[in-house]
Amino acid sequence: MAVCKVCFRHCNIPEGGLGFCGARTCIDGAVTAANYGRVTSLALDPIEKKPLARFHPGSMIVSAGSYGCNLRCPFCQNYQISWSEEAYRFADRAEFIPPEELAQIAFSVRDRGNIGVAFTYNEPLIGYEYIRDTAKLVHEQGMVNVLVTNGTADLQVLGELAPYIDAMNIDLKGFTDHYYNEVLGGSRAMTMAFIEEAVKHCHVELTTLIVPGENDSEEEIREMTSWIAGLTDAEGKLIGAEIPLHISRFFPRFHMTDRDATNVRLVYRLADVAREKLKHVYTGNC
């Protein structure tokens, strides 16, 4: 048995068992990634789909995902490969793609506008070892690495990845502990600490999905964007106002079908509220 230190849960994983995320296991008394190299999804996407609006716009990027997640968002858009029963059934059939092969795949489609690899779809940080090993090779090919994450990870994990990650889109899903703890099963404090450190290392954009009745008040958006605006770089310079924020529209799915899609006018209104503090605010799913 061993304790996993990737996120706030600190799962005590028995030999051969799995942590809460479904993707970390214990072998010979040490925690390791059970999903290492197990790729469930692979595509060549526009970089704007990550979403990244101000990092190599117009480019394409190879997007790779595995299985497992350390949150339990009831509206999960990728539940088929993240934490549903379907995801765990499919896990055993996921294709093994070693780091060398994924880096080579990315290199082979440069002529189609590809600039590197994005680790996305499920929560990539629960399998950070694969990201680290692959991202090194992608850099050696002269290409970039992108991380699309919920930011629920220890800063030691970020420290291992930071030298190899060029851009991140991090979900800042809301700005109350109730929403993070009770609805998502996460930790707002851990996510905020992750963001605070990430902006010191690479290009960062943030995404907030507006869920009706949960995180859709002007007051919450003002509090959140005030915090973002106060973020600083590695030299202590204020950079928060320059950090892009994507405000996205919710659609009912997975376990959250008890409410309608977010009103489009509300999304636009909350984007205007965010612009009181931030220079680059984008709306999504509208």
- Phi, psi (5° rounding) for residue 7? -135, -175
At residue 90, the pLDDT reads 73
191-146-88 Cα angle (round to 5):
70
Q: Looking at residues 42-64, what average pLDDT do you find? A: 98
**C-beta of residue 157 within 8 angstroms of C-beta of residue 126:** no
Single-letter code of the amino acid located at 98: P
Checking if the pLDDT of 188 tops 80, the result is: yes
CB 148 within 8 A of CB 124: yes
Architecture of domain 36-284: Alpha-Beta Barrel (3.20)
User: So what's the pLDDT on residue 281?
Assistant: 98
Q: 51 preceded by cis ω (within 30°)?
A: yes
Q: What is the mean pLDDT of residues 52-64?
A: 98
DSSP annotation string for 96-117: E--HHHHHHHHHHTGGGTEEEE
d(C-alpha 119, C-alpha 123), whole Å: 8
- pLDDT at site 80: 87
Report whether 21 contacts 70 (CB < 8 A).
yes
Q: Is the dihedral of CA 191, 42, 51, 100 positive or negative?
A: positive
pLDDT computed for residue 15 by the predictor: 97
Contact 82, 67 (CB under 8 A): yes
| Both structure tokens of 252 | 């009912």
The pLDDT tens digits for 241-278 are 999 999 999 999 999 999 999 999 999 999 999 999 99
CA distance 58 to 259: 35
Of 197, 47, 19, the C-alpha closest to 120 is 47
Q: Determine the pLDDT at residue 34.
A: 95
> Whats the size of the chain, residue-wise?
286
Helix (H, G, I), strand (E, B) or coil at 264: helix
CA–CA separation, 187 and 252 (whole Å): 23
pLDDT at 88: 77
Cα 237 from Cα 234, distance rounded (Å): 7
Look at residue 177 in the predicted model and tell me its pLDDT.
Answer: 97
pLDDT value at 146 more than 90: yes
Name which of 43, 38, 17 is nearest 29 in CA terms: 17
Closest CA to 246 of 25, 52, 21, 46: 52
CA distance 65 to 40: 6
Cα–Cα distance measured from residue 85 to residue 23, given in angstroms and rounded to the nearest whole number = 13
**pLDDT category, 37, cuts 50, 70, 90?**
very high
For residue range 91-145, what is the model confidence (pLDDT) as tens digits?
A: 777 889 999 999 999 999 999 999 999 999 999 999 999 999 999 999 999 999 9
Are the CB atoms for 208 and 245 separated by under 8 Å? yes
